[in-house]
Copies of this chain bind each other. A is one copy, B any other.
Amino acid sequence: MIRVVFFDLDDTLVDTSRLAELARKNAIENMIQHGMPVDFDTAYNELLELINEYGSNFPHHFDYLLRRLDLKYNPKWVAAGVIAYHNTKFAHIREVKHARKTLIKLREMGYRLGIITDGNPIKQWEKVLRLDLDDFFEHMVVSDFEGVKKPHPKIYQKALKIFEVSPEEALMVGDRLYSDIYGAKRVGMHTVWFRYGKYADRELEYKEYADFKINDLLELPEILEVLKDGSNKEVPADR
């Protein structure tokens, strides 16, 4: 019997990847508009490479971009990038389609809700607060705060301990087969792979750890009904 539904945050509840792409493109455009002498494609591709190498939370993307493009450091261009990036992020942050509708439905059905996410705790809370999603959740477990990343069992065990439930009483929903699905299944949780965004066709070697596969969050209430009956418990809905 499921009592708690855990969600991944990025690209499961918050439409992060789409937002980041838009923000980066607007940043490059604004840098060029303020005089950076590079064409859009060159600069954008260099930025993507840089983010790929240094990670998306690296705080000096735009400084390093200038160095990589052999341009003299110019704080005006960096500021133009930073402004456009932040303006876009603040103005265009969106929930993944049907996220709020699903959360309301699950609360209505009596489920307790939690978030298990990687990333910087303040940045992750910012997303949740900006979308006004916080009232749905009892707790958010963030890897950089706990010192352990998904799919490490400890972060899942930590979440179970906070909610005082056993793994069989918990369902994990996420877009990444490796960190979300493999990770949660290893500690004994039920798992729903949300096939969405850039990980929709990646990490397929971990597909066997998904009990269910969905393309729309609104399929979750149905799956929970199936799990309640118990009859179909071992028969994945979509494989």
- Which chain A residues (95-140) contact chain B, with CB distance < 8 Å? 121-126, 128-130, 134, 140
* In the assembled complex, A155 has its CB within 8 A of some CB on chain B: no
Complex: how many Å from CA A130 to CA B86? 12
- Please name all residues of chain B whose beta carbon is closer than 8 Å to the beta carbon of A128 when the two chains form the complex: 76, 79
Complex: how many Å from CA A123 to CA B83? 10
Closest to A120 in B: B75
Contact of A134 among B34, B78, B86, B121 (CB under 8 A): B34
Q: Are A122 and B79 in contact (CB under 8 A)?
A: yes
Q: Are B79 and A125 in contact (CB under 8 A)?
A: yes
* In the assembled complex, A80 has its CB within 8 A of some CB on chain B: yes
Q: Are B78 and A122 in contact (CB under 8 A)?
A: yes
Complex: how many Å from CA A224 to CA B130? 49
- Please name all residues of chain B whose beta carbon is closer than 8 Å to the beta carbon of A75 when the two chains form the complex: 121-122, 124-125, 142, 145
The secondary structure that dominates the A interface is: helix
- Please name all residues of chain B whose beta carbon is closer than 8 Å to the beta carbon of A206 when the two chains form the complex: none
Complex: how many Å from CA A4 to CA B140? 56
Q: Are A125 and B87 in contact (CB under 8 A)?
A: no
The distance from the CB of A235 to the nearest CB of chain B, in whole angstroms, is 39
Q: Are A129 and B34 in contact (CB under 8 A)?
A: yes
- Please name all residues of chain B whose beta carbon is closer than 8 Å to the beta carbon of A86 when the two chains form the complex: 86, 90
Q: Are B34 and A126 in contact (CB under 8 A)?
A: no
Q: Are A83 and B130 in contact (CB under 8 A)?
A: yes
* In the assembled complex, A82 has its CB within 8 A of some CB on chain B: yes
Q: Identify the 5 closest CB pairs spanning chains A and B, nearest first.
A: A75-B121, A79-B125, A79-B126, A76-B125, A79-B122
Q: Tell me the A residues contacting B by CB distance below 8 Å.
A: 34, 75-76, 78-80, 82-83, 86-87, 90, 121-126, 128-130, 134, 140, 142, 145
